[in-house]
């Protein structure tokens, strides 16, 4: 099984719908992140969490919310989806105590808002 | 956050070395230099990182300029599986370890 699992892998939803993207990890890392990737723009940080009681906004948090249900689970919600939120979404984890090897990413969720 | 500048794209012939440059003129003394790569349809994966000294691992080498304002990722023998987007990222210990990605360099490997 993958260290960082994202569900669903692909999703098509309609404008105005609420949608949740889920991320779970088996690495035991405290820190989790949500990124968005658009063509030609690289990855941009949406939200991050350093532990279960900690939530922080990233570069582009407007229109998104997150929930850290447990150390291993970090969900991203779009309360009312709009077409310009069509993108590839990545979840990642990191462990600052485990050396300096940075992040482990999931395989991504491709979201299309029509 | 400190920024990095990379060429948008590069090409290399298969089995030849590849040098991927990165400029980070505003780097601070505590910023680590990380390289990640993203294969098609996958999430980014760790390649290598360093602070001041040159680094080698099984995937690549990282050469860091003496003034730390630039670095070069070296793939010693490019293979078709190395075709990916390569990101040079500065990780600021002081601001809490978040990575901020740029647009990276898209590497094409020619058979």
Q: Which chain B residues contact residue A96 at CB under 8 A? A: 97
**Residue-wise pLDDT tens digits, B36-66:** 999 988 899 999 999 899 999 988 999 999 9
> From the centroid of its chain, how far is CA A22?
7
Q: What is the pLDDT of residue A83?
A: 96
What whole-number distance in Å separates Cα of residue A24 and Cα of residue B19? Answer: 36
B32 or B81: which carries more pLDDT confidence?
Answer: B81
What whole-number distance in Å separates Cα of residue A96 and Cα of residue A50? Answer: 10
**Residue-wise pLDDT tens digits, A73-99:** 999 999 999 999 999 999 999 876 655
Render A13-42 in DSSP notation, one character per residue: E-TT--EEEEEEESS--SEEEEEEE-TTS-
Q: Hey, is the C-beta of B45 within 8 angstroms of any chain A C-beta?
A: yes
What whole-number distance in Å separates Cα of residue A24 and Cα of residue A91? Answer: 9
Note the residue count of chain A: 114
Q: What is the pLDDT of residue A96?
A: 66
Q: Which of B43, B87, B98 sits opposite A90 (nearest CB)?
A: B43
Q: Which chain B residues contact residue A104 at CB under 8 A? A: 46
What's the Cα-to-Cα distance from B33 to each of B2, B13, B73, B78, B88, rounded to whole Å?
Answer: 11, 26, 11, 22, 7
**Residue-wise pLDDT tens digits, A28-70:** 888 999 999 998 778 899 999 988 999 999 989 999 999 999 9
What whole-number distance in Å separates Cα of residue A52 and Cα of residue A31? Answer: 9
What whole-number distance in Å separates Cα of residue B55 and Cα of residue B80? Answer: 23
């Amino acid at each position: 099984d993958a260290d960082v699992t994202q569900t669903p892998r692909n999703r098509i939803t309609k404008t105005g719908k609420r949608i949740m993207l889920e991320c779970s990890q088996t690495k035991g890392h405290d820190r989790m992140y949500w990124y968005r990737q658009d063509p030609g723009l690289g990855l941009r940080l949406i939200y991050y969490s350093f532990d279960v009681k900690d939530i922080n906004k990233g570069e582009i948090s407007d229109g998104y919310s997150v929930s850290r249900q447990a150390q291993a689970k970090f969900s991203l919600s779009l309360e009312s989806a709009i077409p310009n939120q069509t993108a590839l979404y990545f979840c990642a984890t990191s462990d600052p105590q485990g050396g300096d090897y940075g992040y482990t990413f999931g395989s991504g969720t491709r979201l299309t808002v029509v | 956050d400190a920024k990095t500048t990379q060429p948008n794209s590069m090409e290399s012939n298969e089995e030849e070395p590849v040098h991927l440059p990165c400029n980070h003129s505003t780097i601070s003394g505590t910023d680590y230099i990380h390289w990640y790569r993203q294969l098609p349809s996958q999430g980014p994966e760790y390649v290598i990182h360093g602070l001041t000294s040159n680094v080698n691992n099984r995937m690549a080498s990282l050469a860091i300029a003496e003034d730390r304002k630039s670095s070069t990722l070296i793939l010693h023998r490019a293979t078709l599986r190395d075709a990916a987007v390569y990101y040079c990222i500065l990780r600021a210990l002081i601001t809490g370890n978040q990575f901020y990605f740029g647009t990276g360099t898209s590497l094409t490997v020619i058979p």
